[in-house]
Structure 1
């Protein structure tokens, strides 16, 4: 675990959390990430790293009022803006960066898996240095174990079929029944039980260090100077946090649609226990299908003359996806743009497509499925929209 702590920093905010835990006070713990955090491919989900981390905190520092909630949420500028939003929340939360490592997706420089320096981890760790955030890394902790084929960290087989070895163009072997405890990954991108356990233990390492420091009464002297703000300026030049005026997700996104032809509001997993896990979306499947969304893009105050950014959240995947045209049809103005929901990466994620529009209280945008393939040249046309945001 110590090898996996790639940066600890001053630990000031984490020690503040540790003091609360030692005093038996309630803390709130959230996980923010993608499919690994949501344990999308893991069964049972109670063995996800988030669940294991929460179990560790509740078991080590019991408090019947503890609030532990996972929730989910991709470009470096957006990543920095997310960090700044989190650090500016009331209560000065302690933010930690957890770096997952997908062996079979880490390609480059002649390797079709296991490339150690595959981005974006190094760039994300730079944000940890800049913002004084503890950072832990599965790659730093376990890459040598993976490469050597140590039991529990073996990567030459997966637990589920579907993975492709880029070097041989052949399927990656699937582990036999009874071998699951030897392997780290369920598929090419997601850790199985062993991997989730490793991620959870990595997160406990900085926390237990902070607890030891807090128990020992360790404090760090901080320089007091009026020129030093709570946060440094953005690390990336000209990257301020925009004011978000609209965030329509889940049930709220259904209400944004005013007119449609062919698009339907459907669930990807209708039998899942919650609305979020059912993965509802506005979906069209044929060329000519269209959907119109109406939203207020007007900013308050000084940003009134600037363009607004509409972020369309959509499914991006490697098969059966299509190309669409995005255009402003009423109220606001914008140049038409192509929305390509297909790519060659063997992964399915929700992706934010950014489009500049003029400000108007009733800006209507239309998304129309085109009768042509995207860059990946597949003859399919599905377009799935899952959310809409407006920033300034």
Structure 2
């Protein structure tokens, strides 16, 4: 991973390269950032720069033996720890090392949700368990193979359980010689304060809109206009921006489907309701779950439009036109029930509920809720 491949964050890049050039490399550093800001990618690029055999002024060479191995995440002195879903077959990070390499190389801005999707473990708890601490000690007790330093990158360090965190603390207090710990974290509050106090903080901000827009245009081949809208919605989160781009093609389809459901439900037109149910039931289960999430989004944005600043509404042009007309039907007397019913439907959909029965029930509920009178305003 080269620094130049990471979006924005120029000040952080300069700080990291300067620490290497000046020989001021702290043995334990905490890369703290909001999701999608590039903290993991920065940690890997930093480790590669430290190990590079032909360092350039502001980046690794990308061509030496060390860089070639880093580019494939197979350097013998680079080690990773990350959350796993504990099971009989999976106890520590190395048990799913191949999946990890593929996941990071496919998307260096990987989120915890992305990672657990790769593991087919979306509904399981993410944890860095106590056995991982023993594995860390084992790896770091070995002598370096090729580089000057052994480097341990702990991604999502806040997912360490109490026992694991306590053991790591002892290692940080008495680190093995020529060993670097790079902890990557999104929630400092969930880390032991004693661990935070023993690390050098590298604070990474959200990606600026200017950098995010340029990257979306260059890397994803979208227009400046679409990139600007996507960057506004993503709020400095590149992972979210990628998700928005992938979902963009579904947005028009979801909006049309939502409009059909609302029109059929408000006066409960049985023929229109059954036609809509047949249509949505024919879609795949992931498409149905995506629609339910979209419906939640429209409900929430309708409430924002009704009760807050309209500039806070995060919708496309077609969606905004619809929500301006639809939002009067969403108010304080029905919004909680709408959200409750949609969340309940999503829960049952994940557990393989019959789609036709589920969506018929939802249409009945929406008919009731859309006709709840808005609260009266007393002068």
Higher strand share: 1
Q: Which has the larger radius of gyration?
A: 2
| TM-score class normalised by the smaller sequence | under 0.3
TM-score normalized by structure 1? Answer: 0.26
- Richer in helix (by share): 2
Scaled by the length of structure 2, the TM-score of the pair is 0.26
